[in-house]
A and B are shown apart, each in its own frame.
Chain A
Amino acid sequence: MSKRTGMEVAIAAAEAVALCNIDVAAVYPITPQSHIAEHLSDIVHNGRIDAEFITVESEHSAMSACAGASATGARVYTATSSQGLILMHEILPIVSAMRLPVVMGNANRALSGPLNIWNDHSDIMSVRDCGWIQLFAENGQEVIDLTIQSFKMAEHPDVMLPAVVNLDGFQLTHMIEPMEFPTQEEVNRFLPERAPFATLHPDKPVSMGCFNMPDIFTETMMAKNEALVNSKQTILKIWDEWEKQFGRRYKPVETYFSEDAETLILTMGSMSETASVAVDEMRKKGKRVGLLRLRLWRPFPLEELRSALKGCKTLIVMDRALSFGGAGGPVGTEIKSLLFHDKSRPRIVNFLMGLGGRDMKVEDFIAMVERAGKKKDETYEFYGVRQ
C-alpha cells in the first residue's frame, strides 16, 4: 500500500484509470469533469500509459467511439457530466445491450435548463433505465477504489455490462483530499486482462448490433435485465476480494448508527459525509437517528436495504433530483414502490434538496429530520425553497 497523498479528486480519478492500463479513452470535456479529461490526456501524451486518447467532437461521439473500441476487445474509459451524459443517452442503452464493458466516470451536475454547472443528481437519474451498473462515490478514496473495481465488475464474464461511477461535480471532483493509491503491481494482481466473449477481428468474424424483430425482442430484454440483476452477486464477490487485498470494505448499502435507529436518513454521494456529522450531533442530543448511504444504485440492492431498515420507523430519503409532475424524487419513489408490499415498512418521507449545487449543511439535515417528525403524510417536499 502506498502512502497517503493529497490530490484533487478529479485528478485522482484519472490516475486510477491510468493504473488500470486502459487501451482507449474517448473523452469530451464538460465542466466539472474537464480535469479528468485533461489529466488523462496528460498521462497519455507523456507516455505514462500506452493508450489511444481520442479527442472526439461531442459526448455522443465519445460513447460511440468507446463502443467501437470496446468491441475490438480494448479496455475503454470515458467521463462526462450532465448535458454530455444526456447527449450520449442514445448510445447508453445500446452499449449495455451490446454487453460492452465500457467504464465511465460521471461528474454529477444539474441538467439544463436553465444552465447550471453545479452539483446535483438529475443527470444520472434521467438515465436510470439504461441498463448500466451504477455506483455512487462519497469521497476521493471511493472514487479511486470504485473506478478500479468497475473495470473488474464490467469485464467479468458473468456480467459483461458497462459501469458508471458517479462523483459529485465540484463538491467532490474539485476537492483536494487525502487518498491512498494502490500500487501498479497491486492493481495488476486485482484486475486481470480483459477476455471478451467476442471481438471485431477478421480471424473470427462476427456481426454485432443486429436488429431484433418483435418475435425475439422481449426475450432479448429479459436476458439483459437478468444480466444486470444477477451482476449483484459478482459485485459483492469483487468487493470481498477488494477487502482481502486492500482492507477497505464496500457494501451496497453503507450503514452508520442504523442498528438501533428509529429514524434513518438515506443519502447518496458526497453529502453523506455532512449527513453523518448531523447524525453525530443528533445522537449527542439523544435522538435515535442513523444514516444509510446507497452506494449501489443499479442493480438496486433491495435485500440489503430491507435488512438495514429493520426496526426503522421513519425513513427520510434525500433526493437531489425530481421527476417533474410525478411522484417526487427518483430514489424516494423507487424505494416507496419497492417496499409497498412489505408488512413492516417504515414511513417514508421524501425531501428534494441540494439542487443545482445548493449547499446542504449539518443544520439542514437536522431541520429535515425535525420536519419529517412533524409531517403527517408521505408526500414529497422541496426543502429550503424561499417562499
Chain B
Amino acid sequence: MMQTVRNFELYTPKLIEKREFFSSGHRACQGCGEVLALRLVLKALGRDTVVANATGCMEIISTPYPTTAWEVPYIHVAFENAAVVASGVEAGLKALRRKGKIADRDVKAVGIAGDGGTADIGMQALSGAMERGHDMLFVCLDNEAYMNTGIQRSSSTPFMAATTTSPAGTVIPGQRTGKKNMPEIMVAHRVPYVATACPSYPLDLINKVKKARKLKGPSYIHVFSTCPTGWRAPSREAVKLGRLAVETGVFPLYEVENGKYRLTVETPEKRRSVADYFKSQGRFRHLTPDQIKIFQERVDGEYRQLMNKIKHSRSWQE
C-alpha cells in the first residue's frame, strides 16, 4: 500500500523521493522525530534494501503481528545484533547472487538500531561488522536514551540530562558523563564513510544516505532523533529541536570520507547558546545557570576539536 504524492510542481519537494517505504498506522508517539528520520532514510534507500532492525522503538511501533508498517524486506532478531544480522544478510545475498540463486541486482543490507542497540549493547556487533568490511550501511537513530523501555540513560544521553536511571537528584544532577562519540569510533574503525545527520535538514540527510548506499563497503550514519516524550518537550517542536541542536553546535552535521572531515551544514558564525536549546526540554529543566555554563564550555570545546579535524584532517587515500 505505497502512497505516492502526485503533481509535485515545486522545487523542494521535487528533490525528495516521492514513494513511501513505511506506512501510516504505526504506533509511534505523536511528534516522534525518530520515525520521521526513519521515513526519510527509507526514502533515500529506495526499494532494493533489506533492513535488519534491533529491538527498540522503531521495531515495536512498526511490527505488531500480524501487521507491519515496513514496505521493504525486514528482519528483527534481538536487541544487540542488528549490525551482525545485517552482516549475515549481506553475506547471504552476496553468496546467493554469485551462485545465481537470486536476481543479479544490487540489494543493500542496512542495519538500523537506536543508541542502545548501537553504542551500548550493540557495540560489539557493530565493531565486528565494520571491521570485517561488509558492504552494508549502519544507521543509528539516536534519541539519547533507552526510550522504548521507559527513558533510561544510555551512553548517548547528553551530560546532565535527566533520565529515569540518571535522574536530576539533589546529590547527582542527571547524567554524569557526556555523549559517547560514535562517529569518531567508526572513523577509528577506518569506515570509509561516516556522517551525522538530522531530519530537520532533510535534504542533507537524504544526500548522505544516498552517498552511503552507493558505496561498496561499510558506512555509518548517526541520526539525531528528537523524542518529545522522553525529552519532555512539546511534540510540535520535534523538528525545531533538531535545528537548534545543529545551530548551537550540540550536534554538528558533518561527514568523514576516508578520514577527511567536512562540515555539510554550516553552523552560524555566532553559534546560538545552549540555553536556547534547553528551553523547551524538561530533561534539562533542573540545570542552574552555572551548570548551563559548564555545558556550554563543553560544547564549545568539542566543537573546536571538530573544527580542528575539519581543518587539518587528510584523506587516507592521499
A interface with B by C-beta (< 8 Å)? 23-24, 26, 50-52, 54-58, 60-61, 64-74, 76, 90-91, 94, 98, 193, 199-203, 205-213, 216
CB distance from A279 to the nearest CB of B (A): 46
Distance between Cα atoms of A66 and B52 in the complex (Å)? 13
Known: A64-B88, A69-B92, A207-B70. 15 other contacts (CB 8 A): A23-B92, A23-B101, A51-B95, A54-B87, A55-B132, A61-B81, A72-B92, A73-B101, A91-B77, A94-B77, A205-B71, A207-B63, A207-B68, A209-B76, A216-B65
Pairwise interchain contact A65-B85, C-beta atoms closer than 8 A: yes
Q: Pick 6 A–B contacts, CB within 8 A, sort by A.
A: A61-B125, A76-B88, A94-B78, A202-B47, A203-B103, A211-B64
Category for how many chain B residues contact A: 35 or more
CB distance from B109 to the nearest CB of A (A): 8
B interface with A by C-beta (< 8 Å)? 47-50, 52, 59-60, 63-66, 68, 70-78, 80-81, 84-89, 91-96, 98-99, 101-103, 107, 124-125, 127-128, 131-132
Contacts of B98 in A (CB 8 A): 50
Contacts of A72 in B (CB 8 A): 50, 88-89, 92-93, 96, 102
Report if A65-B103 is in contact (Cβ < 8 Å); known contacts: A23-B95, A206-B73: no
Pairwise interchain contact B92-A71, C-beta atoms closer than 8 A: yes
Pairwise interchain contact B60-A54, C-beta atoms closer than 8 A: no
Contacts of B47 in A (CB 8 A): 202
Contacts of B73 in A (CB 8 A): 199-202, 205-207
By beta carbon, the residue of chain A nearest B87 is A65
CB distance from B162 to the nearest CB of A (A): 29
Closest 3 CB pairs of A and B: A68-B88, A57-B128, A72-B92
Pairwise interchain contact A74-B92, C-beta atoms closer than 8 A: yes
Pairwise interchain contact B75-A208, C-beta atoms closer than 8 A: yes
Contacts of B66 in A (CB 8 A): 210, 216
By beta carbon, the residue of chain A nearest B60 is A211
Distance between Cα atoms of A65 and B132 in the complex (Å)? 13
Pairwise interchain contact B77-A64, C-beta atoms closer than 8 A: yes
CB distance from B65 to the nearest CB of A (A): 4
Distance between Cα atoms of A201 and B68 in the complex (Å)? 16
CB distance from B172 to the nearest CB of A (A): 32
